Structure 1
Amino acid sequence: MTRPLGFAEAFDLPLSVDLATAARAFDISIGTAYRLVHLGAFPCLVIRVGHRYRVPTASMLVALGIEERPVYFED
C-alpha cells in the first residue's frame, strides 16, 4: 500500500502527474481512481494521452483545496 501524498510533496510536482500520483494525493487506491475516471467522477480534470492518463497538477491542487503556494520566511 502506498502512503498518501504529503503537503510539501504536492508543491514539488511537475505540471502534470500520472493517475497513480493523483490517487495518492486523494488517498484512494489506483483501482478506485480508474473506476472514477471511467465513471467521469474523478474529483479533478483527467486527460487521456494515448493509453495513459495525466492529471494537471494545478487542477488537482484546486480540488484538494490547495490553491496557493505557502510562503515561508527563511534567513
Structure 2
Amino acid sequence: MTDHESTPLTFREIFNLPVSVDLGTAARAFGMCRATAYRHITLDTFPCPTLRVGRRHRVLTVDLLRALGIEERPVFADEIADGVALTLFD
C-alpha cells in the first residue's frame, strides 16, 4: 500500500470526487485500507452500497457522502474568490 492509499481523504478531495469512485477511494474516505473494504463487502457490512462492475466494485459518490453524513457540498472561501461559487447560487 502506498502512502497515498493509506491516508484518509481530505474534505476538499471528498467534495471534488466524480459521480462514482473505485473501492480504494471509498475506503480512504472511511479511513480504511482496500483489504478491509473488501472484507466488509464480503460480510455485507461496508458502510454504503457498492456496485459490482465486472470484477470491480464502484461506489456512487452520493451514497458515499450520505454514509459520511454529508448532505450538502460546502462552499470554500477560495471558490468564492475565484468566482466558482457564484454559479452555484444563480
State the TM-score, normalized to the length of structure 1.
0.92
The list of structure 1 runs, each at least 4 consecutive aligned residues, that deviate by more than 6 angstroms after superposition, is none
Code of the aligned partner of 2:24:
A
Residue aligning to 1:18: 22
| Paired positions, count | 75
The CA deviation at 1:71 is: 2.5
SS at match of 2:52: strand
Query: Is the aligned partner of 1:29 residue 2:33?
Result: yes
Shift of 1:29: 1.2
More helix by share: 2
Asked if 1:3 corresponds to 2:1, the answer is no
Name the stretch that deviates more: 21-30 or 63-72. Answer: 63-72
- Spell out, residue by residue over 1:23-50, the C-alpha distance to the aligned partner (whole angstroms, 9 max, x if none): 0000011111000001111000101000
| 1:64 maps to 2:65 | no
Higher RCO (CA-CA < 8 Å; seq separation 6+): 1
Aligned Cα root-mean-square deviation (Å): 1.2
In the alignment, which residue of structure 1 is the partner of 2:57? 53
Question: Whose Rg is larger?
Answer: 2
Distance between the aligned counterparts of 1:72 and 1:20, measured in 2? Answer: 26
Distance, in Å, in 2 between the alignment partners of 1:72 and 1:16 is: 22
Provide the identity percentage. 56
